[in-house]
């Protein structure tokens, strides 16, 4: 398992990321002027359909201002900052990648949200929180890097309050193998995809009851088709974070969806009252 975690860490290791972020951010305004979280959405929402997907997932999860929310695999912190700004909740993000956590803290300073949103470097398989600490947990485009799904979902269940919500938005396997390299893995060694059904079979025994179950593949395909037609993005984008080959990684995900090899799943679960 350590080999796998090291491989995933390597994939998301972004040396000198904060310095690299400063140049595109300078175009958005002077450093002392707080940025609006959505100004960063081209580069800090690291999943299919970006900010639109986070907005929808938060609505489905029923997030409100009095809640404590955990974002598991929080990346650069874009979803966490958006949730805090849009819903007024307190958000904690946790991510395996030290460089992403440092960048997430830096960007949160730039949006002036450090009092409401915080980040910790840790594995989703060993969450550094007490039992029943959160009302909602989000997992967006993370599970495909994790082999031990039973442990992942048990950890999420453990830190949720009884009756709390778990909202997941992930890439799933459909028919055949995807085209590599992909945004989360350059080779199959760190890509641990499951089908949608196998995902449900891993989640429910961890102590969850399914509330919402959507196949979002067609919406994702339409988004990729639009992206392809509109050409390279003008605003700061994930190429700053993942390097110039990111366009190719994203194109392989789009192609794998179009060819029916991969799908996109949105699901919301309720944590059982008894574990």
Ligand X SMILES: C[S@@+](CC[C@H](N)C(=O)[O-])C[C@H]1O[C@@H](n2cnc3c(N)ncnc32)[C@H](O)[C@@H]1O
**Sheet arrangement for strand 117-121:** 117-121, 90-95, 68-72, 134-140, 160-173, 262-271, 208-215
Of 21-29, 56-64, 141-149, 254-262, which part binds ligand X (CB under 6 A)?
141-149
Residue 272 Cα distances to 34, 125, 156, angstroms: 40, 20, 12
Give the count of residues interacting with ligand X (CB under 6 A): 24
Q: Which residue number, 100 or 269, has a Cβ lying nearer to ligand X?
A: 100
Which of 24, 272 has the CB closer to ligand X? Answer: 24
Q: According to CB under 6 A, which one of 14, 17, 25, 47 is a site residue for ligand X?
A: 47
Would you count residue 178 as binding ligand X (CB under 6 A)?
Answer: no
Task: Report the residue number whose CB is nearest to ligand X.
Answer: 75
Of 74 and 118, nearer to ligand X (C-beta) is: 74
Angle, helix 149-159 to helix 196-203, in steps of 10 degrees? 50
Rule CB under 6 A: is residue 73 a binding residue for ligand X?
yes
- CA 207 to CA 60: how far, in whole Å? 19
Q: Where in 86-105 is the site for ligand X (CB under 6 A)? A: 95-97, 100
The one among 46, 82, 224, 269 contacting ligand X by CB under 6 A: 46
Q: Determine contact, residues 270/207, Cβ cutoff 8 Å.
A: no
Closest CA to 84 of 36, 42, 124: 36
Q: Is 153 in the site for ligand X (CB under 6 A)?
A: no
Does 75 participate in binding ligand X (rule CB under 6 A)?
A: yes
Q: Which stretch binds ligand X (CB under 6 A): 43-51, 217-225, 236-244, 262-270?
A: 43-51
Site for ligand X in 11-30 (CB under 6 A): 12
Binding positions for ligand X, rule: CB under 6 A: 8, 12, 45-47, 73-75, 78-79, 95-97, 100, 123-125, 140-142, 145-146, 183-184
């Amino acid at each position: 398992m350590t080999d796998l975690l090291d491989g995933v860490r390597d994939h998301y290791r972004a040396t000198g990321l904060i310095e690299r972020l400063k140049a595109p951010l300078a175009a958005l305004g002077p450093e002392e002027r707080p940025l609006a979280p959505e100004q960063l959405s081209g580069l800090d929402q690291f999943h299919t359909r970006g900010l639109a997907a986070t907005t929808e997932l938060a609505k489905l999860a029923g997030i409100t201002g009095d809640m404590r929310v955990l974002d598991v695999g929080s990346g650069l912190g874009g979803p966490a900052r958006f949730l805090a700004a849009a819903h007024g909740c307190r958000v904690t993000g946790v991510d395996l990648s030290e460089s992403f956590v440092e960048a997430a803290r830096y960007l949160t300073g730039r949006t002036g949200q450090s009092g409401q949103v915080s980040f910790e470097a840790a594995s989703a398989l060993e969450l550094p929180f007490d039992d029943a600490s959160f009302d909602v947990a989000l997992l967006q485009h993370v599970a495909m890097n994790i082999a031990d799904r039973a442990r992942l979902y048990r950890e999420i269940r453990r830190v949720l309050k009884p009756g709390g919500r778990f909202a997941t938005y992930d890439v799933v396997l459909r028919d055949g193998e995807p085209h590599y390299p992909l945004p989360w893995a350059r080779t199959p060694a760190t890509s641990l995809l499951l089908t949608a059904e196998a995902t449900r079979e891993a989640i429910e025994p961890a102590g969850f009851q399914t509330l919402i179950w959507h196949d979002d593949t067609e919406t994702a395909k339409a988004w990729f088709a639009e992206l392809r037609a509109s050409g390279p993005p003008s605003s700061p984008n994930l190429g700053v974070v993942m390097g110039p080959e990111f366009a190719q990684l994203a194109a392989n995900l789009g192609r794998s969806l179009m060819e029916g090899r991969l799908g996109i799943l949105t699901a919301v679960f309720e944590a059982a009252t008894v574990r």
